[in-house]
Amino acid sequence: MVEQSARPRVILSRVVLVGILCPNLWNLSAEDLPPQPERVREAIRLGLQILARSVATYPEHRTCFSCHHQTLPMQAMRTAREHGFKIDEALFQAQTGLTHATFKARAAGLRQGTGIGGNAMTVGYGLWALDLGDSTHDDTTSAMVAYLLKTQKEDGRFWSNTERPPLEDSAFTSTTLASYYMQKFAGAGDQVEVQRSVEAAKRWLLQSQPDTQEDCNSRFWGLHLLGADADMLDKARRLVLQGQRTDGGWGQLAGLASDAYATGQSLFVLQASGLPTDHPAYQSGIRFLLESQRDDGSWKVQTRSKPIQIFFDSGFPHGKDQFISICATSWAVAALAAASR
């Protein structure tokens, strides 16, 4: 006969135990629970994989810097690497090199405030890419800073000469990128002039009213990066959060459906500015991204831009929608990676 313990053994499953410790859990639906970490990690892995394929083929078609195939994929890769994911390091550094080479070749024109398609927007995205690649101040970045100082508008904003929504269509994006990264790459002799420029940009961000979701996101991010006071940051954050829909996503415009570009960007900016990634709004956004990812790892977003260059296939899915879709996939991967554990 097997001797039994005087005290009965009670074996509780993890689910039952958590339910006892957290009684409200019994009232939650599946949609209220955080997505499984394994599912999030797989979404990131697939997204990184398809981004890398397209980024690697880009130089076969173009030799110049682009925000859609350099900066934003680099942001996704860098964020993923910071959260424990393996990336193609050689490919990542190659994008830094391509970016630097593009602007180095244009340094003489940059110093005169000329020779850049996309104007301050392009230079701002370029400095961001160089920062992601851990570049430091040199003659090339000095020329880029000089360009920005020469092309800032009288009211403090920076602008682009193209209208390619949403990526290159917001003065808030251009002003945030130009002012923040100009400050990071300024040389010793430029400090006073750059600080004066940054303060003018900050005043413009404070005084101007956003229209699109890109505007709201970039204004909030800019105010955070440039050190606005807590009350102003709180108001700007709430404006971003107000854009979230019942499906968990954000849309580029009020009349457009939620998409991965607006959602990924909103989430990334929110967490980069201090919102915890376990916040209900963030978790709801993650679910939207997971549910809208394609089987190949990409997110599709329909373009709103009129073509200004001859189309080429970069190896990313979705045909004529591939450039905005690679941007959307980059923002989505970055937002998911920032919340991964």
In-domain check, residue 21: no
The two structure tokens encoding residue 245:
């829909």
What's the pLDDT at 10?
34
pLDDT, mean of residues 332-338: 98
Rounded CA gap, 226 and 223, in Å? 5
In-domain check, residue 5: no
> Is 80 exceeded by the pLDDT of residue 17?
no
- Nearest Cα residue to 258 out of 292, 290, 281: 292
Domain extent at residue 66: 56-339
> Is 70 exceeded by the pLDDT of residue 190?
yes
Per-residue confidence at 28, pLDDT binned at 50, 70, 90?
very low
What's the pLDDT at 160?
87
pLDDT, mean of residues 135-145: 98
In-domain check, residue 210: yes
Rounded CA gap, 114 and 135, in Å? 23
> Is 50 exceeded by the pLDDT of residue 3?
no
The two structure tokens encoding residue 199:
């303060």
pLDDT, mean of residues 122-129: 98
What's the pLDDT at 31?
63
The two structure tokens encoding residue 153:
């508008």
Domain count, the chain: 1
Lowest-confidence range among 12-21, 163-172, 183-192?
Answer: 12-21
In-domain check, residue 61: yes
The two structure tokens encoding residue 38:
């394994």
- Nearest Cα residue to 323 out of 334, 332, 312, 337: 312
pLDDT per position as a tens digit, 48-99: 999 999 999 999 999 999 999 999 999 999 999 999 999 999 999 999 999 9
In-domain check, residue 232: yes
In-domain check, residue 188: yes
What's the pLDDT at 309?
76
What's the pLDDT at 29?
55
The two structure tokens encoding residue 341:
């554990």
What's the pLDDT at 310?
81
Per-residue confidence at 308, pLDDT binned at 50, 70, 90?
confident
In-domain check, residue 288: yes
- Nearest Cα residue to 286 out of 296, 301, 276: 276
Rounded CA gap, 324 and 67, in Å? 11
pLDDT, mean of residues 117-134: 97
Domain holding 301: CATH number? 1.50.10.20
Identity (one letter) of the amino acid at 170?
S
pLDDT per position as a tens digit, 287-301: 999 999 999 999 999
pLDDT, mean of residues 244-257: 98
In-domain check, residue 283: yes
